[in-house]
Structure 1
């Protein structure tokens, strides 16, 4: 052991349990902070290298949010309720009750098309 380690060990021997636990928390925070700084440095270096090559790091790693999200639109209605034309359905997703009832009563899906 080096002199610094020996000195530190002898200093720790004089501390109470509460002081040792407080020191333990400080050390854990220091380690986490060090790891965060190292991670940030590595990330910055990788982002610079990706940029030099004409990419973003997110594009290369496939991180969510890189691609622009398609806007969710209601879609174009394909079917309409003959009893209430304001009720429409795109043909995607769960079938509406009026559609199921109309098909059950003998109508074909083609009969309900707009």
Structure 2
């Protein structure tokens, strides 16, 4: 096929047909891969849903704060991660974490 001799309408039609063919090919390959993965899971005694559910990350529950700023009780810290500036300032002033405990 010599695409240089095609009109604009023919080229657009050809592009639409190629796009449909690509999408169809990708869908077939996805279905084949899904079928293969399901078969492997079944051979191992699982369903695909069980395996994908197990692979999902669990969301963590919020941690209760352990420390509060004596000057502003709305500022709290769980004790995890970096120390907030108010904790650093209190420690620099000679206080301990026990002094800031809730």
Q: TM-score, normalised by structure 1?
A: 0.60
The structure, 1 or 2, with the larger RCO (C-alpha pairs under 8 Å, 6+ apart) is: 2
- Between the aligned partners of 1:28 and 1:57, the Cα distance in structure 2 is 34
Question: Which stretch has the larger CA shift, 98-107 or 43-52?
Answer: 43-52
Matching residue within 24, 27, 33 for 1:37: 27
- Between the aligned partners of 1:17 and 1:110, the Cα distance in structure 2 is 81
Q: TM-score, normalised by structure 2?
A: 0.65
The alpha carbon displacement at 1:32 in A equals 0.8
SS in 1 for 2:55: coil
**Alignment coverage as a number of residue pairs:** 99
**RMSD between aligned alpha carbons?**
3.3
- Compared CA separation, residues 32 and 99, structure 1 to 2 (3 A): same
Matching residue within 11, 22, 43 for 2:12: 22
Residue 112 of structure 1 corresponds to 100
Larger Rg: 1
Deviations 1:1-28 (A, max 9, x none): xxxxxxxx5xx69x63314422430342
Q: Which has the higher strand share?
A: 2
In structure 2, stretches of 5+ residues that fail to align are none
